[in-house]
Chains A and B, each alone.
Chain A
Amino acid sequence: MNIKTFSIGGIHPDENKLTHEVATKVAALPKQAIFPLSQHIGAPAKPVVQKGDRVKVGTLIAEAGGFVSAPIFSSVSGSVLKIDTAIDATGYRKPVIIISVEGDEWEETIDRSDKLETVESHPELTPEEIVTRIKDAGVVGMGGACFPTFIKLTPPPTAKAECVIINAVECEPYITADYRLMMEKADEILVGLELLMMAAKVTTGYIGIETNKPAAIELLMKKVEEKFNSQSSVFNVSVVPLKQRYPQGGEKQLVDAVIQRQVPAPPAIPVNVGAIVQNVGTAYAVYEAVMKHKPLFERYTTVTGKNLQNPGNFLVRMGTPMKDLIDACGGMPEGDNKLLAGGPMMGKALTSVEVPICKGTNSVTIISGDEARRKEPQPCIRCAKCVWVCPMGLEPYLLAKLSEVKNWERAEREDIVNCIECGSCQFTCPAHRPLLDNIRQGKSTVMGIIRSRTAK
C-alpha cells in the first residue's frame, strides 16, 4: 500500500482517540434548544419566526442573510420562546433563537426511513438541482470551518474543478465523530460523494483517510469497489490511505497529500488547482439533504476527555447545550477543566457549558486544568523546530517576533497571512513560547491593513 502525506512540516501529537470503538448514541432532546444566527462563515442568518410561533423539526427558522450565508432549521418541535442573545462558540453573547421543546414532531417532507436512496432511482437530479437542494438545506462544511457548501460547488469561472476529495482524515487528537460516521453510514457517504461529484461535474473522487483508522479504510475500500468499479460506472473513486500527520485535515495539506498539488497563497483556494475538498460529514449531510429532504439540523459529535466517566459519540440535534451532552457522559470532572469546542489543537476554549452544539461543533473536549495549563515561556534558542514543522513553510519564530514588535510591513512580506493557525509551531516549541498567539494577532492586524488598502 502506497501511503501518502503532505510534503512539508507537520507533527504527530498523542492521538487519545478514546471513543474510537464507542458506537454512536442518539442524544436526548434538550429542554430548550439555542440556535445562534451565525453558525457559518459569512453574513448571519435572518430570523423568519417570532416569539410564540410553533415550529416542527426541520422548520426554517432563519433564512440566509446574504450570498455567503446559510439558512438555519429547527432541530426540535415546540414554540419559539424568544429571540435573544446567548453565549456562542465565540465566547461572546450573540443573537440567538431559543425554542422550548415540546414533543418530537417532524415536517412531513422529511423522509425518515432508513432505506438507502441511490442516484439511479432519481433521474430528476441535475447538477443544478443538487446544488439548489444543498443550498436550501443550509448545508455547510461540517469539519469546523462552516463554509457554505453550495459556494464550493460553484467555483469561479477562472477555475475548473477536476476532482472531489472527501476529507476523512480526522487528524485532530481525541475526535472520532467522522470515524464513527464512516463505520455506521458508509453507503450514505458514498452516495453523498456521488452527488457532490455530479454537482461539481467531475468524475474523479478521492477519500483521504489516515492509517490510524484501518477498519474505515478497509470498509470504504470494499464499498467503493462494489459501487464504483463496475464497468458501467462513470465515476472513478479511490480511497487514499494517508500517513498520520497533523494538520493533514487542512484543505491545502490534504490536496497536497492526495493529488500532490500545492494551493498557491491566498486568495487562491483548492479549486484553483482543480480540487474541491469536502468533509465526510458534509458528504453525509448532502446525502440527507438531497435524497431525504432533510435540512441540516443534526450532526455527529464526539464528547471526550481523559477524566470524563463515559466519553462517547452522539448523534445530536443542533442547539443542544453542551452541558446536556457532558451530563450524558457522567458530568463535568472534578476540579479545574478546560472546555473546548473542537479538538485540543484547533478547538476554541469556552467559559460556559451552556454553549449550544452548532453546525461546526465536531467535538466537545474536556482537558484537565493541570494538563491544559501552559508552562512558563523561556527565551527562544533558535532551534528552528517551529520552522521544521510549519506545514505552510513559514518561519513562526520570526512572525511571532514581528507581531510582538508590531512590524506589520515586514510581517506582510514574510507572508503572515498564509498561516493556517494549526498551532504546530507552538506545540513543538521546546521553550513553550506563545508563538501562535502572537502570530494570530499579527495575522488579523495585517489582514485588516490589507483590507483597508484594497478598500481605498
Chain B
Amino acid sequence: MNFILIAVIVLGAIGLIAAVVLFAASKKFAVYEDPRIAQVSELLPGANCGGCGFAGCGGMADALVKGADAGSIEGLNCPVGGADVMGKVADLLGMAIANGEPKVAVVRCNGTCEYRQKIAEYAGLRTCAAMNACGAGETACGFGCLGCGDCVEACQFDAIRINPETGIPEVDEEKCTSCGACTKACPRNIIELRKKGPKSRRVYVSCVNKDKGAVSMKACKVSCIGCGKCEKECPFGAITVESNLSYIDPDKCRLCRKCERACPTHAIIAVNFPAIVAVNSSKKEETV
C-alpha cells in the first residue's frame, strides 16, 4: 500500500509543479493573436497560391485584420475566392465590401501584325523584359505590346494567352481573377485592371502610345494620336488627353460609346456590347 501511496504523492507533486510552471510560462510568454485572424483564415480558400501577393492565406488573413484595424481593406483581394469570399471576410470584419466592383485585366494595345508593321528582327532572349531593355522592339512603336508573353507566364490562372494571329495577348474574362500579376509583369504597363462593367461591357482606349500623333500614326495605324475628339465628344467629362494619349476614367464613363464612334483611328474599343442592329431590317433578322 505504501508504494502506491508514495507513487501517487510523487507523481501528483511533479504534476502540480509542472502545472504551476506551465501556467506561469503561459502567462509570462503569452503572444496575443487576434482571434479574427483564425476566423478569416477559415474563410479564405486555403490554396496558399500567393495570388494576393502574400506568401499564403495566413499572411493574407493577417493583412486583412491589420487593414481592418487601420480602417480600410482596400487593395486586398483574394483572386481565387473572388467577390464571394471577400464579401464574407468584409462582413466578419465589419468593413464595407472592399472590392464591390469586380475588375478584369485589359490589354491596352491594338497593334496587331496587320496594323503595326515590323521594321526590325529581334534575335535576343524572347522575353518582353529583355526586349524592352534593348529598345523599341521589332516595330517602330516604343510603347506597344512586345508579344513575348511575360504576362502569360505570370498568370497563375491560365487566363491570358497570346493570340497567334494578332501577336497580342487576350484575356479570358471568366478565368481572370484580377490578381494583377500580369500588370506587374508587363514592362510597358500596357495591362490595366479596369472595372468589369455592367454585363462586362467596357469602353477603353486600347493604346498607350504617348508620341505625337504623326509619329505614333507612322508606327501603328490604330494608335491614339491624342487628337482630343473623344474628349470633346464625351458628355460626362470622363475622358482626359494627356501627353498625346487619351484615357477614359471608368468611374465616370457611362458607356454611351460616342467616343468610340468619334475616334478617327479606332483606338477606342467597346467590348461585349450587342452587335449593332440594322434599324429598318425586319425583326426576324435582328441578332442580339
Residue B100 lies at the interface, judged by CB distance under 8 Å to chain A: no
Chain B residue at minimum C-beta to C-beta distance from A438: B125
Collect the chain B residues with CB atoms within 8 Å of residue A92's CB: 135-136, 142
Chain A residues numbered 86-100 whose CB sits less than 8 Å from any CB in chain B:
87, 90-93
Residue B171 lies at the interface, judged by CB distance under 8 Å to chain A: no
Residue A373 lies at the interface, judged by CB distance under 8 Å to chain B: yes
Residue A132 lies at the interface, judged by CB distance under 8 Å to chain B: no
Residue A444 lies at the interface, judged by CB distance under 8 Å to chain B: yes
Is there contact, CB below 8 Å, between B123 and A372? Answer: yes
Query: A148 vs B121: C-alpha distance in the bound complex, in angstroms?
Result: 34
Looking at the assembled complex, report how far the CB atom of B243 sits from the nearest CB atom of chain A, in whole angstroms: 11
Q: Given that A87-B136, A92-B135, A92-B142 are contacting pairs, would A437 and B124 also be in contact in the complex, using a CB cutoff of 8 Å? A: yes
Contact code string A358-382 (vs B, CB < 8 Å = 1, else 0)? 0000000000010011100000000
Residue B211 lies at the interface, judged by CB distance under 8 Å to chain A: yes
Collect the chain A residues with CB atoms within 8 Å of residue B95's CB: none
* One of A336, A349, A369, A437 near B135 (C-beta < 8 A): A349
Query: A441 vs B185: C-alpha distance in the bound complex, in angstroms?
Result: 13
Is there contact, CB below 8 Å, between B211 and A437? Answer: no
Q: Given that A85-B211, A91-B135, A93-B211 are contacting pairs, would A373 and B123 also be in contact in the complex, using a CB cutoff of 8 Å? A: yes
Residue B156 lies at the interface, judged by CB distance under 8 Å to chain A: no
Residue B269 lies at the interface, judged by CB distance under 8 Å to chain A: no
Tell me which of B61-69, B126-134, B257-265 binds A: B126-134
Residue A351 lies at the interface, judged by CB distance under 8 Å to chain B: yes
Residue B25 lies at the interface, judged by CB distance under 8 Å to chain A: no
Residue B276 lies at the interface, judged by CB distance under 8 Å to chain A: no
Looking at the assembled complex, report how far the CB atom of A425 sits from the nearest CB atom of chain B, in whole angstroms: 14
Query: A373 vs B211: C-alpha distance in the bound complex, in angstroms?
Result: 31
Q: How many A-B residue pairs have CB under 8 A?
A: 45
Collect the chain A residues with CB atoms within 8 Å of residue B125's CB: 434, 437-438, 441
- Dominant SS at the A interface? mixed
Give chain A's interface residue range (CB within 8 Å of chain B). Answer: 20 to 34
Query: A369 vs B123: C-alpha distance in the bound complex, in angstroms?
Result: 11
Q: Given that A336-B121, A351-B120, A434-B124 are contacting pairs, would A441 and B142 also be in contact in the complex, using a CB cutoff of 8 Å? A: no
Is there contact, CB below 8 Å, between A444 and B133? Answer: yes
Looking at the assembled complex, report how far the CB atom of B180 sits from the nearest CB atom of chain A, in whole angstroms: 18
Chain A residue at minimum C-beta to C-beta distance from B127: A441
Collect the chain A residues with CB atoms within 8 Å of residue B123's CB: 372-374
Residue B119 lies at the interface, judged by CB distance under 8 Å to chain A: yes
Is there contact, CB below 8 Å, between B130 and A441? Answer: yes
Query: A369 vs B120: C-alpha distance in the bound complex, in angstroms?
Result: 11
Residue A350 lies at the interface, judged by CB distance under 8 Å to chain B: yes
Residue B215 lies at the interface, judged by CB distance under 8 Å to chain A: yes
A-B contact pairs, 29 of them (CB 8 A): A85-B212, A85-B215, A87-B136, A90-B135, A91-B136, A91-B142, A92-B135, A92-B136, A92-B142, A93-B142, A93-B211, A336-B121, A348-B135, A349-B134, A349-B135, A351-B120, A351-B135, A372-B123, A374-B123, A374-B124, A434-B124, A434-B125, A437-B124, A437-B125, A437-B130, A438-B125, A440-B130, A440-B133, A441-B130
Write the residues of chain B forming the contact surface with A, with a CB cutoff of 8 angstroms. 119-121, 123-125, 127, 129-130, 133-136, 140, 142, 211-212, 215
Write the residues of chain A forming the contact surface with B, with a CB cutoff of 8 angstroms. 85, 87, 90-93, 336, 348-351, 369, 372-374, 434, 437-438, 440-441, 444
